[in-house]
Structure 1
């Protein structure tokens, strides 16, 4: 892995040091089930390289957020929610609820998702 933070939980999952239920692995991303799911489908998609937030990813690596969005569609297909609908969420910063500062997209589906969210 090109860039890694030694105390980052998601970097440790990417490195195989912390177990996770892997859904998909790509060249640049890895998708795994959230340990505290908020919907029947709740999968996190993270880049293999450490980037702290979606805002940083937008400036640091052209195409990274696009790749996460493509992986979200594949995860939705694997979990059977692509046709009924799913939500892809990036929490950016503590005020938005980001608790692990390694950019990650939440794929949520399999139940009604109200608007506006929490």
Structure 2
């Protein structure tokens, strides 16, 4: 069971967001702290806390988020130049809201790696 998050409040229209896409399964809105000229978050309407909580029964929602990203890229003319989608998981992965979401970044050339690691983790 997931706890209510800021994303739940956006889905329920309890707090405002700059919504750019919505269907029965997903919602997309502009990030309030953009890391690229275009930065949106694409979320499932069903709360799933982390990637670790994705199951066979709800895995179709993750695929749907990518379908939405592709639709947005085409509509906003990013599909040919390219864009990045990222899903973070838990604290070390950079997740700050525990409701899975894709970050969609576009409008500039993306480098790789996206940033320099400051701490190496032994595997």
Pairwise same-fold verdict (TM > 0.5):
yes
Select which of 80, 83, 87 maps to 2:84. Answer: 87
The gaps in structure 1 that reach 5 residues or longer are: none
Give per-residue Cα distances to partners, 1:85-111, cap 9 Å, x unaligned. Answer: 011100011101100000000011110
CA distance in 2 between counterparts of 1:65 and 1:91 reads 13
Aligned residues: 115
- Which among 53, 66, 70 is matched to residue 73 of structure 1? 70
Report the CA distance between 1:79 and its aligned residue.
2.1
Gaps of 5+ in 2: 116-123
CA distance in 1, matches of 2:2, 2:95: 18
Residue 40 of structure 2 corresponds to residue 52 of structure 1? no
Q: How does 1:25-36 map to 2 (within 5 A)?
A: 25-36=22-33
Q: Is 2:15 aligned against 1:18? A: yes
Rounded to whole Å, the distance in 2 between the matches of 1:57 and 1:46 is: 13
Which residue is equivalent to 2:110?
113
Higher radius of gyration, 1 or 2: 2
Structure 1 runs of 4+ aligned residues shifted over 3 Å read 3-6
How far the C-alpha of 1:78 sits from its partner, in A, is: 2.5
Contact 1:58 1:65 in 2 (8 A): no
TM-score, structure 2 normalization:
0.87
